[in-house]
Amino acid sequence: MFETTTTHTDLLSMLELNHLRLEAINLYDRCLAEGNLLPLERFIEQQLAYDPPQIQLLTDIANDLQQRLLTLKAYHFDIRQKIVVMFEEMYRLDVTHLMPADRLDDYHLLHPERVLMYVIEQGVSIEEDERMVLLEVLRASRETARRLYEDVLLTEKLHDMILDWIYALTVNSARAGWQIFEWSMKSDPKHIH
């Protein structure tokens, strides 16, 4: 009977953790939509106020944010890559030096007019209608990259903040455990100094 109660309690605890984790992810999505750290920051502060704070919940949230960060970075890379491939396929031109993969964080600073000028300088003849479409595609790509760049920065800040709290709580917990150990050793009459 005790095992059933423990299992039931564990199940409730897991369900509660999953509920809080989903709430955190919804707040993270709100952070992205608003471009603001506060919704998730406040949630984390509320979780830290519990005694003891739920380190497992914070760890799960940090892992979720890490996954989101990887997804955002992959999507950011894909946005740039699609433009590179487009110019290779349409004009047989390599434009990677204008938007190097190792400087992805700067892709949102791309000047579409400069890219188009480079294409024309390479001897490619482009009609006015096509030129306007290319500029629009480049601008849309740049705008998407800008939003992704901002989302990556915000996610990194939130992720780092949570990791800092996990580290601090873990160190604090270890220190408290060490103090209890030292106290128990001093109070044990069999302990030889």
Each residue's pLDDT expressed in tens, for the chain with a length of 193 residues: 444 445 656 766 888 999 999 999 999 999 999 999 999 999 999 998 887 778 899 999 999 999 999 999 999 999 999 999 999 999 999 999 999 999 999 999 999 999 999 999 999 999 999 999 999 999 999 999 999 999 999 999 999 999 999 999 887 665 555 555 555 556 555 655 5
d(CA 90, CA 107): 21
Cβ atoms of 107 and 158 within 8 Å: the answer is: no
* pTM for the predicted model, two decimal places: 0.80
Q: Provide the pLDDT for residue 2.
A: 45
Q: Residue 129 to residues 61, 125, 126: CA-CA distances in angstroms?
A: 48, 12, 8
How many CB atoms lie under 10 A from the CB of residue 15? 10
Q: Provide the pLDDT for residue 80.
A: 97
Q: Provide the pLDDT for residue 185.
A: 57
Half-sphere exposure of 173 (CA within 13 A, CB side): 11
Cβ atoms of 162 and 61 within 8 Å: the answer is: yes
**What is the CA 156 to chain-centroid distance, rounded?**
5
